[in-house]
Amino acid sequence: MRPILAIVISAAAALGLTEPGHADPAAGKAIFEAKGCNACHYTQGPAREKTIADQLAKKGPELWYAGSKFQKAWLAKWLTEPKPIRPLAFNSLTEENKGDHPKLSAEEAAKVTDFLMTLTSDVVKPGSVKPKKSAKGRLIFVKKMPCSGCHAFPSRKKFKGGRSGPSLVGAGERLNPDWILAYLQNPKVFKPVKMMPVFVGILSPKDMKQVAGYVATFKAKK
Amino acid sequence: MHLNRAIAALAGLLAALALAVPAHAIDIEQVYKFYCAQCHGLTGKGDGPNVGADFPVSPRNFTNAAEMNKLSDADIKNVILDGGPAASKSPMMPPWGKTLTAEEVDGLVKHLRKLCKCKGKQG
């Protein structure tokens, strides 16, 4: 290959990297750090929390498995228009969530999303859960287990769920269904100390799959 | 030489104790506030942030001695471990048996007795 051609090709490749739509996790990581996101969110696993005090010391959710937990399109959009997911402030039972999460531009959000989507956990098995509105899943979520006691959910009934946990309204657009199941099955991997009960040994693996599939159908608007 | 060894051994023992003590000293009020207060409220009145107007049940008010006296310590422990249905109560009270340690559960029973200032059904 003639040197001049090689230069043209590599220049094109370099340009290609900066085109919108092309994943740029390194740029996203730089933005994440420059904006100080890691003051509230840690991005390196495994989970560090060992005690309640460790959990309470955190200012925001851990993101070291964000790429396995979130849906990419939702994440990129949310970072540009961050609306509260938790009714209450993180780690608080008395303070409302002020909805003051920093906002990113669409370009920054796309890059940060590329970075966060590289943070994955191999405990999450792709393709293990399909969104499914099963009667069994609903029965467990609303009646047999008290999921709705702490999590808001889309319901036509009067009771639309509790407020101490993250809202699950729109969970079908926000969360990766496979992560929901992995989290129910291996809660300690993701959140060793959390306000939510451990259901391992209480719900069967089959029940967990049905709940995960049911939660994955939750839309943002009814 | 012997004295030095004795001092070193003592220092080692003290260091081990210092490490061991925090692991055993559980702050039961913190445990209560972290897990139970979501529904039962920070002061135990059954008024946690989950309990809005449409909440389907009324979580137990731990400061109500008359109600709390109807339960033995074993009853309370069973409900914490296996959830409301263990005492024919609502499944809105989850089973915490796979979440809490035995020490935390026993500590919580004692903490609830402190909140109700009552001894409960004996035997």
pLDDT in tens, A40-99: 999 999 999 999 999 999 999 999 999 999 999 999 999 999 999 999 999 999 999 999
Q: What is the pLDDT of residue A36?
A: 97
3-state SS of chain A: helix, strand, coil percent to 5? Answer: 45, 5, 50
Q: How far apart are CA A17 and CA A6, in angstroms?
A: 17
Candidates A178, A202, A190; CA nearest to A42 is: A190
Distance CA A162, CA A87 (A): 9
What kind of architecture, by CATH, is found in domain A135-215? Orthogonal Bundle (1.10)
- Enumerate the H helices of A58-175 as residue ranges: 66-69, 72-80, 106-116, 135-139, 147-150, 171-174
Residues on chain A touching B27 (C-beta within 8 angstroms): 52
CATH of the structural domain A22-116, one choice from 3.30.70, 1.10.3470, 1.25.40, 1.10.760: 1.10.760
Which carries the bigger pLDDT value, residue A16 or residue A135?
A: A135
CA distance A119 to A38: 14
Q: Could you tell me which residues of chain A have a Cβ less than 8 Å from any Cβ in chain B?
A: 52-53, 55-56, 87-88, 93-94, 143-146, 149-150, 158-160, 162-164, 195, 197-202
Q: How far apart (Å, rounded) are the C-alpha atoms in residues A94 and A5? A: 65
Residues in chain B: 123
Q: Which of A8-22, A108-122, A188-202, B93-107 has the least mean pLDDT?
A: A8-22
Are A162 and B95 a contacting pair at CB < 8 A? no
Domain span(s) for CATH 1.10.760.10 in chain A: 135-215
A104 with A112: CB under 8 angstroms? yes
Evaluate whether ipTM surpasses 0.85.
Answer: yes
Q: Do A197 and B98 touch (CB under 8 A)?
A: yes
Per-residue pLDDT of chain B (123 residues; tens, 9 = 90+): 465 676 666 665 555 555 554 555 799 999 999 999 999 999 999 999 999 999 999 999 999 999 999 999 999 999 999 999 999 999 999 999 999 999 999 999 999 999 999 999 886
Q: Which pLDDT value is given to residue A18?
A: 47
How does DSSP classify residue A35?
T
| Structure tokens given for A98 | 């002020």
What local confidence, expressed as pLDDT, does residue A221 receive?
75
- Spatial distance between the Cα atoms of A75 and A113, rounded to a whole number of angstroms: 6
**What token pair was written down for A7?**
């230069």
CB A87 within 8 A of CB A152: yes
The number of beta carbons lying within 10 Å of the beta carbon of residue A189 is 16
Distances (CA, A) of A86 to A126, A129, A203: 26, 24, 25
Provide the whole-model pTM: 0.86
Domain B27-116 class in CATH:
mainly alpha
The DSSP bridge partners found for residue B106 are none
